[in-house]
């Protein structure tokens, strides 16, 4: 056996058993061997061949390495299993959280709908009634407009004079002559201050149809009216509608109730 092999045997023997192999003394000098104590039975029993010690030591290390690898693999497998269970639990928790979120939103939506249904329907907003002072001012304005127009008709066509005159004692020829002049003057006033058009086109006596949804303020039905429109009938009067009005400006400080002032010729 070479010294190198014996050196390895001595190294591993001391490492694993704490003793040197018995054949290590073969490499000592005679003086060194004589100086060594006599080996005991236990030391002899422990003196095994270098190949056995080396083989056992290598096998032990191999087995230990395998055991450590097995433990490491087992630990990795356990870690993966724990990670898998953690991911699974996390997924479950996320699913539960999402489900709770959806349920919460649904409950919130239902609560909102319930609140809207519980709210009373607001009453329709009606315009505030005008104050008594405003009503009086509007009535006064309308009155002044009517009086001003009546004064205009009196001034241009002497309408008030004609209507206030008792014509029963006059012959028809005399009345006809007077009416012709009044008609001409009044028509002139009407054309100058009002643009007027018929409500329904056509001449009196024409067949007409009253459409569905007509305005009763524009068309007045007469005769036997039954059922729902449209109605067919004969036009008795086409009516009049004012399209545009152009009255003179009111003068402040004038009493509108005086439609025609008295006239005095001073001598």
pLDDT value of residue 218: 94
The alpha carbon dihedral of 79, 80, 81, 86 has a sign of: positive
First to last CA, the chain: 181
Helix (H) or strand (E) holding 115: helix 50-118
Is pLDDT of 57 > 50?
Answer: no
Are residues 199 and 205 in contact, defined by beta-carbon separation less than 8 angstroms? no
* 144/40: higher pLDDT: 144
Is pLDDT of 77 > 80?
Answer: no
| Strand pairing report for 240-245 and 231-234 | unpaired
pLDDT value of residue 236: 95
* 8/221: higher pLDDT: 221
Is pLDDT of 59 > 50?
Answer: no
Distances in whole angstroms, Cα of residue 115 to Cα of each of 102, 103, 110, 202: 20, 18, 9, 59
Q: How confident is the model at residue 126 (pLDDT cuts 50, 70, 90)?
A: confident
Is pLDDT of 119 > 60?
Answer: yes
Question: In the predicted model, what is the mean pLDDT of residues 70-82?
Answer: 50
The tens digit of pLDDT for each residue in 168-178 reads: 999 999 898 88
pLDDT value of residue 163: 92
Residue 149: partners with Cβ closer than 8 Å, 6 or more residues away: 193, 247
- Global pTM reads 0.45
Is pLDDT of 221 > 80?
Answer: yes
Average pLDDT, the chain: 74
pLDDT value of residue 85: 59
Is pLDDT of 201 > 60?
Answer: yes
pLDDT value of residue 109: 64
Is pLDDT of 47 > 50?
Answer: no
Question: In the predicted model, what is the mean pLDDT of residues 142-169?
Answer: 90
Residue matched to tokens 């087992």: 74
Is pLDDT of 23 > 60?
Answer: yes
């Amino acid at each position: 056996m070479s010294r190198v092999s014996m050196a390895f045997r001595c190294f591993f023997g001391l490492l694993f058993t704490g003793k040197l192999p018995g054949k290590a003394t073969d490499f000592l000098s005679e003086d060194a061997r004589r100086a060594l104590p006599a080996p005991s039975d236990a030391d002899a029993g422990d003196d095994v061949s270098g190949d056995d010690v080396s083989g056992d030591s290598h096998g032990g290390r191999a087995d230990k390495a395998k055991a450590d690898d097995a433990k490491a693999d087992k630990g990795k497998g356990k870690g993966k299993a724990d990670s898998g269970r953690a991911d699974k639990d996390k997924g479950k928790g996320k699913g539960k959280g999402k489900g709770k979120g959806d349920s919460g939103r649904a409950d919130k939506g239902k609560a909102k709908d319930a609140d809207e249904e519980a709210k009373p329907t607001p009453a329709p907003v009606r315009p505030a009634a005008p104050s008594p002072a405003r009503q009086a001012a509007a009535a006064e304005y309308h009155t002044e407009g009517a009086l001003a127009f009546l004064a205009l008709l009196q001034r241009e066509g002497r309408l008030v004079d004609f209507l206030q005159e008792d014509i029963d004692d006059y012959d028809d020829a005399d009345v006809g002559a007077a009416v012709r002049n009044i008609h001409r003057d009044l028509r002139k006033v009407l054309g100058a201050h009002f643009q007027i058009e018929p409500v329904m086109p056509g001449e009196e006596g024409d067949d007409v149809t009253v459409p569905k949804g007509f305005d009763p303020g524009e068309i007045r039905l007469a005769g036997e009216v039954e059922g729902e429109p449209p109605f067919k009938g004969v036009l008795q009067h086409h009516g009049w509608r004012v399209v545009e009005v152009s009255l003179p400006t009111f003068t402040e400080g004038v009493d509108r109730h005086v439609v025609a002032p008295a006239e005095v010729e001073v001598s």
